[in-house]
Amino acid sequence: MSREAIHAFEAIIAQQLLRIEKLKEDATFLSYESLPKIIIGVIGGDGIGPAITAQAQRVLETLLSSEMKSGRVEFRTIEGCTIEKRAAVNKAIPDDVLTEIKKCHVLLKGPTTTPRKGDPWANVESANVAMRKELDLFANVRPVKIPELGIDWTFFRENTECLYAMGSQGVHVTDDLAVDFRIITTQGTERIARLAYEYARANGKKRVTIVTKANVVKATDGKFLEVCKAVGAEYPEIETDDWYIDIMTAKLIDEKRRKQFQVMILPNLYGDILTDEAAELQGGVGTAGSANLGTRYAMFEAIHGSAPRMVEEGRDIYADPSSVIRAGAMLLGHIGYTDLGDRLSEALAICTTTEKRLSMTGRSDGATGEAFADYILEKVGELHHDDGK
């Protein structure tokens, strides 16, 4: 039995060393400007996903209507990335779906159900995790802004390594011993750190915070911290500090301290956890959008789950689409429509925090997702008149 475990470990090492060789190849980011046409793929996902994603698509299509007419932008609905189909073919992403995905430049994605032990479906890998790995979407960028509390954070979560890299390839050595593998590479860390510092520089941020548990997890977190600091040294105008993940979770609710944080870099799992905490402070995980960026592809998604119970109870029409719409605003900015993206974000802020004319309760006593999307579009239109853009 332990022989098999050693073989599994050997295979993992070989696979990761090969991956590092690929990472060393110089990769530059796709330039959307130089593309004759930008193809936006839309993946509805599971549970409330199709309902909220349809609203987000409608919002984006309305805002990009002239680009669609001129043929500069095309929307493509990608079918079949559902839990039923994924479980039936026993793949995190069915092959035909992946082929369609790869024909697009950017993706807008609703939540997908991740099966766990005991669920009625095969225990396939999470579609999110698989997509991030398949498309090498190494940077998970998650902004959290609460202006009235002076909070303006941008999390740069590494998205392809850490415990997620081998999350489905752990080994049951004996009935009593299970081992998972945590991967951190120099190249993988360097690229997320560079993106974070470049973002900080371009946006006038003064501080970058590296979050690890390097005092305990010495090899992998030790490397992550060291590599991030080395990248940081190339940006002398930016102050770098580092915190351990435990105290960092505490500091996010420390009213005096938290305002000082601006840009955070984290390994995958700590980033997963801390960004949920941060989103909760902003008003819930349903309010946050997330960008998954690679050099060739980019995927924008909601960070919450698929809420299957809402669908079982026939309430999916009341599901709040603002998370996917927020992801859509990030998508617009990413592909070069910065102005439209900003206006959509501003409209979202008005509809969800300041004016709040409609309330989303997830039930028939609240607004439908469709009405809420209309409300957002109406506000974007008003902003359009206000600033004359």
Answer yes or no whether residue 129 interacts with ligand IPM by CB under 6 A.
yes
Q: How many angstroms separate the CA atoms of 238 and 247, rounded?
A: 22
Answer yes or no whether residue 128 interacts with ligand IPM by CB under 6 A.
yes
Query: Residue 291 or 329: which CB sits closer to ligand IPM?
Result: 291
For residue 160, the partner it binds in Mg ion, ligand IPM, none, with Cβ less than 5 to 8 A by kind, is: none
- Which stretch of DSSP H or E encloses residue 289? strand 289-293
For residue 108, the partner it binds in Mg ion, ligand IPM, none, with Cβ less than 5 to 8 A by kind, is: none
Q: How many angstroms separate the CA atoms of 341 and 328, rounded?
A: 8
List residues bridging with 172 in a β-sheet. 178
Answer yes or no whether residue 114 interacts with ligand IPM by CB under 6 A.
yes
Q: How far is CA 82 from CA 48, 210, 367, in A?
A: 12, 36, 26
Query: Residue 82 or 114: which CB sits closer to ligand IPM?
Result: 114
Query: Residue 126 or 323: which CB sits closer to ligand IPM?
Result: 126
Query: Residue 158 or 272: which CB sits closer to ligand IPM?
Result: 272
Nearest to 328 by CA among 298, 297, 372: 298
Which residue matches tokens 């989303």?
360
The least distance separating Mg ion from the CB of residue 290, rounded to whole angstroms, comes to 9
Query: Residue 61 or 276: which CB sits closer to Mg ion?
Result: 276
- Kindly state the tokens that stand for 129: 């995790």
The least distance separating Mg ion from the CB of residue 305, rounded to whole angstroms, comes to 9
Which position among 303, 319, 325, 344 is part of the footprint of ligand IPM (CB under 6 A)? 303
Query: Residue 125 or 320: which CB sits closer to ligand IPM?
Result: 125
Residue nearest to ligand IPM (CB): 126
- Which stretch of DSSP H or E encloses residue 240? strand 239-244
Which position among 53, 82, 126, 189 is part of the footprint of ligand IPM (CB under 6 A)? 126
Binding to Mg ion, residues 245-284 (CB under 5 A) = 272
Question: Which residues have C-beta within 8 Å of that of residue 94, sequence separation ≥ 6?
Answer: 80, 81, 85, 86
From the list 1-9, 15-23, 50-58, 121-129, the region that binds ligand IPM by CB under 6 A is 121-129
The least distance separating ligand IPM from the CB of residue 311, rounded to whole angstroms, comes to 17
Q: How far is CA 124 from CA 86, 179, 247, in A?
A: 7, 19, 34
Answer yes or no whether residue 46 interacts with ligand IPM by CB under 6 A.
no
Answer yes or no whether residue 323 interacts with ligand IPM by CB under 6 A.
no
Q: How far is CA 121 from CA 92, 313, 324, in A?
A: 12, 20, 26
Query: Residue 92 or 200: which CB sits closer to Mg ion?
Result: 92
- Kindly state the tokens that stand for 377: 């579009």
- Kindly state the tokens that stand for 378: 């109406």
How big is the site for Mg ion, counted in residues (CB under 5 A)? Answer: 1
Q: How many angstroms separate the CA atoms of 279 and 300, rounded?
A: 16
Q: What is the DSSP string of 148-216?
A: GGTEEEEEEEE-SSBTTTTTT--EE-SSS-EE---B--HHHHHHHHHHHHHHHHHTT--EEEEEE-TTT
Answer yes or no whether residue 81 interacts with ligand IPM by CB under 6 A.
no
For residue 128, the partner it binds in Mg ion, ligand IPM, none, with Cβ less than 5 to 8 A by kind, is: ligand IPM
Answer yes or no whether residue 221 interacts with Mg ion by CB under 5 A.
no
Answer yes or no whether residue 125 interacts with Mg ion by CB under 5 A.
no
Answer yes or no whether residue 272 interacts with ligand IPM by CB under 6 A.
yes
List of residues contacting ligand IPM (CB under 6 A)? 114, 126, 128-129, 272, 303
List of residues contacting Mg ion (CB under 5 A)? 272
